[in-house]
Structure 1
Amino acid sequence: MGHLLSMLSLLSVLLFTNCSDTGTPPVNKTYRFNGVMNVDEWRRTFVLQLPSGYYENDTARFPLVIGLHGTGGSASQFERSYNFSQKAESGQFIVAYPDGVPSDGLFGVRTWNAGKCCDYAMHHNVDDVKFISELISRVSADYKVDPKRVYVAGMSNGAMLAYRLACEIPQQIAAIATVSGTMQVQPPCQPSRPVPILHVHSAKDTKVPYLGGIGIGGYYFPPVDSVLQVWSSLDTCGGSRVLQDDGTYRLTEWYSCANGVIMRCYLTQDGGHAWPGGHKSASWADTPSTVINANDLIWDFFRQFTLP
């Protein structure tokens, strides 16, 4: 009987005591977080997704990609419509999906203040540059982020903010990717260093026309070619060349830029104002291009670059 009691006592210890050699409690392996932070007078929200390998190596540091939705979108919409968390998992990077400030109208449409666009965020002079800067700092402090590998990818109005971030806080961002957007900064862009840029657009986009002009919301959007010409000068590129033009899409690259920077532009002949390779974000939304996959192109581009 005494022997039996001893065995039961031992089993109890094994069941209710951590058996690691270090005596530390097991790690709570949570991979998804909903965050809130106050910036100026605004309550800002975001979603953070960690890759499966995050907890496997205590010394590992992971790239961070900030995904910026378009007008009327949201953090969850960006993730869902563009399958971006799947790409974060396969690429083993951390992804943060911030929300734009919602309007005070019936639908609470979320926008970003990209300078001369758009809507509520612009009219209320929301400091989205400050928000994203503080978001990068917070996530980098709280999680295992490699601060030299922080990137921004944006859709439409989010792409416009990505351009503004490249102009104003390039010291925090290694590269940007812009989809179906253009640059709307005011005053002129004066980055403190050259920035790698990947631009993706459809020739059939009428909401933010590639050739420029009046688009969605009655805003005037500068031609993308002009924007890229400005950036080729800012990045002091040596020239440009067409790498592919097969009738489905044209790929242009700017080369011999300062500090090893590269600029690329994919212009598709299918799709519309949408994320290539993604889903339609709504029944009334444009159909995405199928000749390229934005997620693959973006991550392949980003991982070439680190901050100096």
Structure 2
Amino acid sequence: MKQLIVYLVLTLLTFPATSCRKTDTPPITVFHFYDTLAVDGYSRSCLINLPPNYNDNPHFALVIALHGTAGSAAQMETDYKLTNKSNSAGFIIVYPEGVPSDGLLGIRTWNAGSCCDFAMQHNIDDVKFIKLLIQKLTANYKIDRKRIYVTGMSNGAMMAYRLGCELSDQLAAIAPVSGTLMTTAPCEPARKMPVLHIHSAMDTKVPFAGGVGLAGYYFHPVDSTLRVWAGIDGCAATPQVVTDTALYTQTQYVNCSNNTTVQLYLTKDGGHSWPGGLPARPAADAPSNAFDATDLIWEFFKKYELP
């Protein structure tokens, strides 16, 4: 009888704990898929990749990767090896796609301000799209809201800068590649923003020194872009050289507020391309061999989260 009473007491003590476990959320079985989101009359598309350990951990960092002009989610994933990196690092990555033009090629672009093409000409609200996408992703997946990052290539890099200006309360850091700040309104983020910029001194499509480049657009000098961000982050006025090798130079603005940094990796080879990646198309510039931009970006992102 005594043993029966002990058994019943132990059963009652353990019952509440087992009944409170989450049993209504089945494990994820599809880790790589496309999704859509309706925004301003457009069906906006994106490619989502969840890491293999998604079911095992409570929350994950999110990287938003923005393709360049005429690029796509699949192209960016393949050429820059971002999904392989996100899987090994245990990040979620999403590749949003720009609105396709109404021309025969359906070229996708982003409205970064004064560039580019269809998205700019039709004043597509890409900031709204990314904001709503973040809301959807954080509602449906195990994303740490303090660790959301944006990177982008070319026009996607320009869009990354615009998002840094307008969605700073949601982004922990940005890492533009081969782009520049092209916003038409003053960049006035709500918080300090860590910035990692990667570019080639050989780039003629978005010239590092500024000037007319791809499709006849005038692109602002990258130095002026970084000075804007150094001012926003309260950094010292003059950047310091951290590393100078035969293939690249790394400079950094120091003494920035809130433990932010503004860094530049300027390669001496390559061109309008993603260092360490693959050419985006047959006629594209050869990527720099100085380093792997994907690895560099991930290491940068890992240092920062929202307060």
TM-score by length of 2: 0.91
Q: Equivalent residue for 2:5?
A: none
Q: Equivalent residue for 1:257?
A: 256
CA–CA distance in structure 1, aligned partners of residues 28 and 147 of structure 2: 26
Q: Aligned to 1:201, what secondary structure does the other structure show? A: strand
Letter in 1 for 2:297: I
Q: Equivalent residue for 1:76?
A: 74
Q: Aligned to 2:136, what secondary structure does the other structure show? A: helix
Matched, 1:51 2:51: yes
Q: Deviations over 1:261-281 (max 9, x none)?
A: 011100000100000110011
Letter in 1 for 2:306: L
Q: Equivalent residue for 1:296?
A: 295
Q: Equivalent residue for 1:273?
A: 272
**Does the 8 Å contact 2:28/2:54 carry over to 1?**
no
CA–CA distance in structure 1, aligned partners of residues 244 and 123 of structure 2: 41
Letter in 2 for 1:256: N
Q: How far is 1:32 from its partner?
A: 1.2
Give the 3 Å change call, closer, same or farther, for CA 99–246 of structure 1 in structure 2.
Answer: same
**Does the 8 Å contact 2:172/2:304 carry over to 1?**
yes
CA–CA distance in structure 1, aligned partners of residues 25 and 220 of structure 2: 56
Q: Equivalent residue for 1:235?
A: 233
Letter in 2 for 1:289: S
Give the 3 Å change call, closer, same or farther, for CA 28–50 of structure 1 in structure 2.
Answer: closer
**Does the 8 Å contact 2:28/2:55 carry over to 1?**
no
Aligned residue-pair number: 286
Give the 3 Å change call, closer, same or farther, for CA 96–23 of structure 1 in structure 2.
Answer: closer
Q: Equivalent residue for 1:66?
A: 64
Give the 3 Å change call, closer, same or farther, for CA 90–184 of structure 1 in structure 2.
Answer: same
Letter in 1 for 2:285: D
Q: How far is 1:33 from its partner?
A: 2.0
Q: Aligned to 1:274, what secondary structure does the other structure show? A: coil
Identical positions, percent: 52
Runs of 4 or more consecutive aligned structure 1 residues displaced over 3 Å after TM superposition: 21-26
Q: Deviations over 1:71-116 (max 9, x none)?
A: 0000111101101100101111000000000000010000000000
Structure 1, unpaired ranges of 5+: 1-20
Identify which of 144, 147, 157 aligns with 1:146.
144
Give the 3 Å change call, closer, same or farther, for CA 25–128 of structure 1 in structure 2.
Answer: closer
CA–CA distance in structure 2, aligned partners of residues 151 and 120 of structure 1: 25
CA–CA distance in structure 1, aligned partners of residues 262 and 253 of structure 2: 5
Q: Deviations over 1:150-190 (max 9, x none)?
A: 00000000000000000011001000000000010011111
Q: Equivalent residue for 1:191?
A: 189
**Does the 8 Å contact 2:166/2:189 carry over to 1?**
yes
Q: Aligned to 1:151, what secondary structure does the other structure show? A: strand
Q: How far is 1:27 from its partner?
A: 2.7
Identify which of 118, 121, 142 aligns with 2:119.
121
Q: Equivalent residue for 1:4?
A: none
Task: Please show how residues 7-18 of structure 1 align to structure 2 within 5 Å.
Answer: none
TM-score by length of 1: 0.90
Letter in 2 for 1:250: T
Give the 3 Å change call, closer, same or farther, for CA 188–34 of structure 1 in structure 2.
Answer: same
Structure 2, unpaired ranges of 5+: 1-20
CA–CA distance in structure 1, aligned partners of residues 91 and 27 of structure 2: 20
Q: How far is 1:24 from its partner?
A: 7.2
Q: How far is 1:28 from its partner?
A: 4.3
CA–CA distance in structure 2, aligned partners of residues 296 and 99 of structure 1: 23
Q: Aligned to 2:149, what secondary structure does the other structure show? A: strand
Q: How far is 1:238 from its partner?
A: 2.4
Q: Aligned to 2:139, what secondary structure does the other structure show? A: helix
Name the Cα RMSD after superposition.
1.4
Q: Equivalent residue for 1:162?
A: 160
Give the 3 Å change call, closer, same or farther, for CA 24–112 of structure 1 in structure 2.
Answer: closer
